Amino acid sequence: MGEEWNYVCLRVLVVCVFFLSVCVDSSGVKHYTNKWLVHVPLGEVVAREVARSNDMQYQGPDYDNDGFHVMAKDDLPLKSFDHNEDITNRLNSHSLVTTAIQEAVKARSYRGAVYPRHVVPKSTTTSSKTSNSVRRSHMSYFKKEKMISNYINAFNDLRWPDMWYFQDYRTSENQPVVDMNIVPVFFELKITGQGVNITVPDDGIQWSHPEILPSFKQELSWNYILNNKNITPSTDDNGDIKAHGTRCAGEIIMQANNKICGVGAAYGANIGGIKFLDETSTDAREAKVLKYALEYVCIYSNSWGPADTGTIMEHLSDLIKMSFTKGIHQGRDGKGVIYVFAAGNGKADGDNCACDGFVNSIYTIVIASCDDSGHVTHYSERCASIIATAYSGAGFEKNVLTTDVNGQCTDKHTGTSAAAPLVSGIIALALSANPELTWRDVQYLLVWTSQVVPLSDNFGWNRNKAGFYYSVDFGFGLVNAYKLVKEAQTWQNVPEMSSCGIRMPKVRGFPISRSRAVRITVNSTGCEGLSGEINYIEFVQLVLSMTYPKRGDIQIAIRSPLGTECRVLDSRPKDFNTRGLNRWTFTILAFWGESPKGNFIIDVFDTTGKSSNTGVILEMTLSIHGTKDIPPIYKNGPRPYDEFKLAKPGDKPRFLHLGSMTKAKNVDVLRNDDQRQQIIRDAAHNYDGVHMSDYKESNKQNTQKVNSGMTQKTKKKRLKTDLLKMELDDLLNREVSILPMNPLVHDVAINPVVDNDLLSSEEDPAVV
């Protein structure tokens, strides 16, 4: 009976895996429709002729996407798992067509935290009642069990004491600030976000909530599912009202001193919502969302993205690139709108935000999460395009307080979904202080003012040769609202951006395997003497095409001409795609402020796959974005930092948290089971009461039986045990060095062909 049951379970598992692989492919596509969006600049009459000549039905102009027209192929099925390349290629070859795109329905996910197993969270909705308890410091930096916030009486909102990430528990002004330092902006600078318009693209917002209604603006809102003004959230399959958008909006806009819930990060701003997220979406819909009400919107706060499964790499479509470009060049009277995106929550599934097209755009501000102790969380993805971090939570105990549906409040909001809106609100404060800031000024301000001190207990920080600390877990640090807004008040705009592209035709055909890495040395002049000359780096982008039998085994690292190292792509164990990479763009912020002149060293390697893995490099391009002239903020020397002591390998951290440890060079990777068990055993004795017996218990197969009689206290212990195991696995599987040690390399020096005047459509750089 047992064997038969195991066989049945195995068959069910195989069917489920097959179903998932069919429903969502490795590019994030759930299915294709029988419609095409076709860009015909000469207007409707010509577009009708294009449709007729291709035996298609003209359905009219797409008024929200300039110059695009909708054409259908009625003899094709409404849904198909295959892209019809023949029709797409035929349309694209037409002399009067700029581009043609088959409509694809894509899987989308919220970026709220994923709870590990054993965790059955309490109801996420709580009433608006006062918490009279004395709040413990969210940063054990001060090593005190109980402290009272200096801001405890700043507002009369009933749940204000629970907003630990806004509180200041210091007993002396000489101690470093470890909260998000937002209250002084309200009281000292008298700035609350006045005059700034923010919209939240999501599943709608319950705009009638008393914390949202006073600041709600209909002109910032639209329903792209039903094409009307009603952005009230729908219900899910269980009949519950979808709350994600309402929670994200509340973080930004909760009204101060109304005795209801809490205080928003920019409670004086205006808020709207765009309802478009319904588990799936299309390129056309998202392109409309990202430029909706462009004449009004200042900030688009996005806590959504491709599914964080560790299996998807989704390119930005031409439609979305065009929307970003329009928003940057036309929004805010040419100064550019601000696109804030959550980094993603797939870390526990081995995902890496370098595999997210939205994250890799230079036009987006990508925000990671840390927990209430300033440590990496089990979900927040890492990559080299993260610019900064905000507090969120680890899925238990302290999370983010915000509005909930039905007029309620919740303190269970978490994930990078919760981090991004906090930063959107803080950016609104900066724009209110200085409306002349451009989209790049905002990025510079985050780089210049984000703080390392609250996150210094984590491993993995590097200081680049321009003096900036950077971490692929946290970007440039924790956002500090007061420092950012104070700097914004007197900020001088940065010089015009230049772009310099280097193509490498000689790399085609370079072999890569499990035993042989590819190391490419690229000499860069920074386009010296050309119109695209760069002396100060902002972004470096690597575009790579290659074959490989398992895409998830590909790893990439890069070293700047000045010697700064950065990991670009980690392995993704669940990504079994067999096609390799197709012109995938990786964005790197770690070299910010450095000179681009000299040799970049790019390593492509595999340390986790099968020994039989082999592939070939097909194409590689390096694009550098930055400035020729010195940014005014650099003229006074390197960026100053508050004093802090970085954790180093061998140190005993103030807290046991291993999620971001980068082991020192020449330390062997621990693979032996006895060594793993010993580390877990030693760690468990220091991890808030979690013991080895809990770890063993957590590995029992019959999870349901274990859960059945579990108290809430035991569940919390079990959660911590799970997180510990997850983070230990992460530690043990990370590479010893950012660049591979002693690799078998195919070392090639390349004399690049340089393209000046590289256009800012950075995801698909034009090269000669």
Residues designated catalytic: 202, 244, 417
Q: What is the DSSP letter of 133?
A: S
> Using an 8 Å Cβ cutoff, are 353 and 385 in contact?
yes
Closest CA to 646 of 448, 382, 459: 459
Closest CA to 202 of 219, 218, 220, 223: 223
Pull the structure tokens for residue 268: 């004086």
Where do we find the tokens 């001193």? 257
Q: Which helix (H) or strand (E) holds 569?
A: strand 565-569
Q: How far is CA 606 from CA 352, 510, 555, in A?
A: 16, 14, 6
Pull the structure tokens for residue 283: 């390129």
Pull the structure tokens for residue 124: 């996420």
Where do we find the tokens 């067999």? 578
How far, in Å, CA of 627 to CA of 531, rounded? 11
How far, in Å, CA of 90 to CA of 254, rounded? 52
| DSSP letter for each residue of 225-239 | TTTBS-----B-TTS
| DSSP letter for each residue of 259-309 | SSS---TTTTSEEEEEE--BSEEEHHHHHHHTTTTTTT-SEEEE-EEE--S
Q: How far is CA 632 from CA 338, 528, 629, 639, in A?
A: 21, 21, 9, 12
Helix, strand, coil percentages for the chain (3-state, nearest 5): 25, 25, 50
> Using an 8 Å Cβ cutoff, are 163 and 131 in contact?
no
Burial of 614 (0-12, 13-18, 19+ CB in 10 A): middle
Where do we find the tokens 């892209």? 83
Pull the structure tokens for residue 412: 């269970």
The alpha carbon of 392 is separated from its chain's Cα centroid by a whole number of angstroms, namely: 14
Helix axes 416-433, 481-489, angle to 10 degrees: 30
Closest CA to 300 of 431, 484, 133: 431
Its sign, for the CA torsion 654, 387, 445, 186, is: negative
Q: Which helix (H) or strand (E) holds 253?
A: helix 244-253
Closest CA to 267 of 428, 43, 466, 125: 428
What are residue 280's DSSP bridge partners?
Answer: 107, 278
Its sign, for the CA torsion 372, 375, 376, 377, is: negative
Q: Which helix (H) or strand (E) holds 746?
A: strand 745-750
